[in-house]
Structure 1
Amino acid sequence: MLRAALEIIDRESVDRLSMRRLGEALGRDPMVLYRHAVNKAALLDGVVELVLEQLTVDATDPDWRHQLRSIARDFRRLAVAHPNTVALLITHPLDTPLALRPLGTLRPLEHILELLTRADFSSVDALHIYRALFGFLHGHILNELQEIIERPEETSDLLRLGMHRLPIGEFPLLRALATELADYDGAAELERGLDILLAGLTTTMSAAGARPRRERRS
């Protein structure tokens, strides 16, 4: 049922998903589906869980930087594969208090906390790192999926982006970046952002591999 719901969302949109349309796709009476999901919100919770089940987190990886980079790449892959679910992945879980969210939405958080505490971060610092990583990821994904070329047939980057509409004499720095804006590469941009984020975390956070291990009291 959840796979069929995800297919409808991928093909059309979240708004087009309904118990009636899902029943038609499955060849079932929509009323029967309410035995498995009491309403559309519960159905969407299940779809979010289904997508996040595909997010791989290896909490035993001894290289926390490598693992966070791998998680970020995996999250982007899922978002690009299911762009119509991005709003669900980013905002839907936040509509519910943490302890009441579907367990599948909490497992990536738990596993990342385990990864980072294994690397000798405190649990509080591990939470800050998780928030920093996913704050960056959410912003990156929204930027990447909303990058729009107004007139792709044009050969001038200024015209392709519609920047000729900007007031003449204003936004000179933005105009100068027309080629870079038109040639946006989501995967490469992700890597640049991760380089900056992970370098900052390594500098500011104390953990095994980032700074010398602090002596432990017996």
Structure 2
Amino acid sequence: MKRASGRSPRGGQADAGGTDAPAQRPYTRAAILAAALELIDRDGVEGLTMRRLGETLGRDPMVLYRHVANKAVLLDGVVEMVVNELSVDSTDPDWEGQLRRFARHFRELALAHPNVVPLLVTRPLATPLGLQPLGTLRPLEQILTLLTRAGFTSAEALHIYRALFGVIYGHVLSELQEVVERPDETNDLLRLGLHRLPATEFPLLRDLASELASYDGAAELELGLDILFAGLKTTLARSSD
């Protein structure tokens, strides 16, 4: 029997063949960015196009440009949305504890959204600081405030921020790297493909097969932070003499 209004039982508009058109999501900038993040999580950055984003939202892709001028702006928005989940309590006297929590949370976000990690690392490099979304700059301002209150100079605080992110970026990129060639193989040398390396040229690397195979991301991050903060404490002690 023909429906009076041409709508589906769920309230969506039916097409001429009687099937439902994609349901429209709420159409806000936040909804657009959330949908973009879903596509990146599922298909990678290369899988995100304005057309596919429009299909996901149930909207004409051309309407997207009312909220995001182009794909570059869209990617910056996704980075800002993810980074907005990070925060530092700049009033906490335990600056080391705050930076450790920040690094751990960054790692958690990276593991939850591995396809976004290249954006987190590269997008800030593609845009001058003053032109970046404000949300991406807030962690920087918070960390600078935290460290200057702890006694570091502004210049030292900036160097520490850069060193911290060098450790974090390097760690998450290493942790997300595919290291297993044969997952079902029980021999670590074979699992990692290290048997392919000439034994006479790479004896130490081959001998580390078990260490490489038992990689513990959380422990490795803590070790990197331990080394970084030990040096920072020494620097702070010298500057206070």
TM-score (norm 1): 0.93
Q: How far 1:175 sits from its partner (Å)?
A: 1.1
Quick check: 1:56–1:74 contact (8 Å CA) kept in 2? no
> In the alignment, which of 70, 76, 85 is matched to residue 101 of structure 2?
70
Quick check: 2:194–2:206 contact (8 Å CA) kept in 1? yes
Q: How far 1:60 sits from its partner (Å)?
A: 1.1
Task: Determine the C-alpha separation between the residues in 1 that align with 2:198 and 2:239.
Answer: 54
Task: Determine the C-alpha separation between the residues in 2 that align with 1:110 and 1:168.
Answer: 49
Task: Determine the C-alpha separation between the residues in 1 that align with 2:199 and 2:34.
Answer: 51
> In the alignment, which of 137, 146, 155 is matched to residue 124 of structure 1?
155
RMSD: 1.2
Q: Secondary structure at the match of 1:34?
A: helix
Matches within 5 A, 1:94-113: 94-113=125-144
Q: Match of 1:157?
A: 188
Q: Match of 2:12?
A: none
Quick check: 2:199–2:206 contact (8 Å CA) kept in 1? no
Q: How far 1:211 sits from its partner (Å)?
A: 6.2
Measured against aligned partners, the alpha-carbon deviations of 1:93-148 in whole angstroms (never above 9, x if no partner) come to 11011111111111110000010011111100000000000011111111110142
Structure with greater Cα Rg: 2
Identity %, equivalent residues? 71
Quick check: 2:36–2:53 contact (8 Å CA) kept in 1? yes
Structure 2 regions of 5+ residues with no counterpart? 1-31
Measured against aligned partners, the alpha-carbon deviations of 1:181-207 in whole angstroms (never above 9, x if no partner) come to 01111111101111111111111x22x
1:33 equivalenced with 2:64 (yes/no)? yes
Which structure carries more relative contact order (alpha carbon 8 Å, separation 6+)? 1
Q: Secondary structure at the match of 1:15?
A: helix
Structure 2 counterpart of 1:162, one-letter code: G
Question: Across the two proteins, how many residue pairs are aligned to each other?
Answer: 210
Q: Match of 1:134?
A: 165
Structure 1 regions of 5+ residues with no counterpart? none
Q: How far 1:212 sits from its partner (Å)?
A: 8.4
Q: Match of 2:199?
A: 168
Quick check: 1:117–1:126 contact (8 Å CA) kept in 2? yes
Task: Determine the C-alpha separation between the residues in 1 that align with 2:161 and 2:79.
Answer: 19
> In the alignment, which of 84, 93, 110 is matched to residue 53 of structure 1?
84
1:84 equivalenced with 2:127 (yes/no)? no
1:115 equivalenced with 2:141 (yes/no)? no
Q: Match of 1:185?
A: 216
Structure 2 counterpart of 1:133, one-letter code: L
Q: Secondary structure at the match of 2:99?
A: helix
Structure 2 counterpart of 1:163, one-letter code: L
Greater displacement, 116-125 / 161-170 = 161-170
TM-score (norm 2): 0.85
Measured against aligned partners, the alpha-carbon deviations of 1:2-36 in whole angstroms (never above 9, x if no partner) come to 00100000011111101111111111111111000
